[in-house]
Amino acid sequence: MTSVRELLRVGPAVNLKDIDPGSTPGLPGRKVTGRDQKVWAREQLALIGGELAVHQEMLYASAKGSGGNRRVLLVLQAMDCGGKDGTIKKVAGAMNPLGLHLVGFGPPSEEELKHDFLWRIRRALPSAGLMGVFNRSHYEDVLIARVDSLVPADVWRERYGQINAFERELTGDGFTLVKVMLHISYDEQRERLLERLTDPTKHWKYNPADVDARARWTDYQAAYTDALGRCSTDHAPWFVVPADRKWYRDWAVANIVLETFKEMRLSYPEPDFDLDAERQRLEADRAPAMAS
């Protein structure tokens, strides 16, 4: 199978307008068609989930004892209703919660605003051995910060370079970065907002401000296009996942993470103790000592 990462990776010339949010790159269309594709993708996701859990455990184990510093950071960005939460539920949910480090970034707090925009990001980085997931990230500082003019243009323009330097620093410190933009269409966003109004168990997810933000859709697409193009580097590439179909989105993100894990060539660490000696100690130890 073609690498999903290769198919979805974007470069400096990316333009979101050229990427169809309803497409399904990499899905074996000829073998499984129509409704079958969804069923197939969901089945595959379950299998991939099991593989992800094994790689995640090796990552976790490798940081114990000997002190490896490797860790993975999945950065998720999307327009409202783009499916960040759903992706986390399905892809991160397949892994062991003990090895996950999940952080969501909302509007910066008063204290955070008193610092450089990367301050709160640095404080939230995963420790060695963990699978980090950022639900929104420092990219908001070149997205909403730009579209809503929260900072002057010369400030956000400087940030692309600052982000690239920051991410290079991270990859030098054991990080493997996986940056994913979930790409939905204007129509699909409306459908999902309507669904939140229709289903009483989803009312709480609905925010009237999300509809107001639709007025700035085109500006956001331009801001995303710039962020993707300027910050998709060899050490920290961006992937754009067509996300109008949830089952494709989950399958694609799971594959991107799995391919990343495989490339890391993780393994369980060798024991740093004498296996036979320990076994003998345990075999001899049949009853608890008396209370002291």
Q: How many CB atoms lie under 10 A from the CB of residue 150?
A: 15
Q: How far is the CB of 201 from a second copy (least distance, A)?
A: 5
Nearer to a second copy, 27 or 146 (CB): 146
Pairing status of strand 238-242 against strand 9-10: antiparallel
d(CA 92, CA 9): 21
d(CA 184, CA 218): 13
Q: How far is the CB of 162 from a second copy (least distance, A)?
A: 26
Q: How many CB atoms lie under 10 A from the CB of residue 10?
A: 20
CA distances from 27 to 2, 103, 286 (A): 10, 30, 56
**What DSSP designation does 127 have?**
P
Closest CA to 27 of 260, 194, 250: 250
Taking every pair of Cα atoms in the chain, the longest distance, rounded to a whole number of angstroms, is 75
Q: How far is the CB of 197 from a second copy (least distance, A)?
A: 5
Nearer to a second copy, 167 or 250 (CB): 250
Nearer to a second copy, 122 or 202 (CB): 202
CA 172 to the chain's CA centroid: 19
Nearer to a second copy, 2 or 292 (CB): 292
128 φ, ψ (degrees, to nearest 5): -55, 140
Nearer to a second copy, 58 or 163 (CB): 58
Q: How far is the CB of 45 from a second copy (least distance, A)?
A: 16
Q: How far is the CB of 192 from a second copy (least distance, A)?
A: 10
Nearer to a second copy, 15 or 33 (CB): 15
Contact set with a second copy (CB under 8 A): 57, 61, 64-65, 85, 88-89, 92-93, 96-98, 100, 102, 104, 133, 135, 186-187, 190, 193-194, 197, 200-201, 203-206, 208, 211, 214-219, 221-222, 268-271, 273, 275, 278-279, 281-283, 285-292
Q: How far is the CB of 190 from a second copy (least distance, A)?
A: 6
Q: How many CB atoms lie under 10 A from the CB of residue 21?
A: 22
Provide CB contacts within 8 A for 24, sequence distance 6+: 37, 242, 245, 248
Nearer to a second copy, 28 or 229 (CB): 229
Q: How far is the CB of 263 from a second copy (least distance, A)?
A: 20
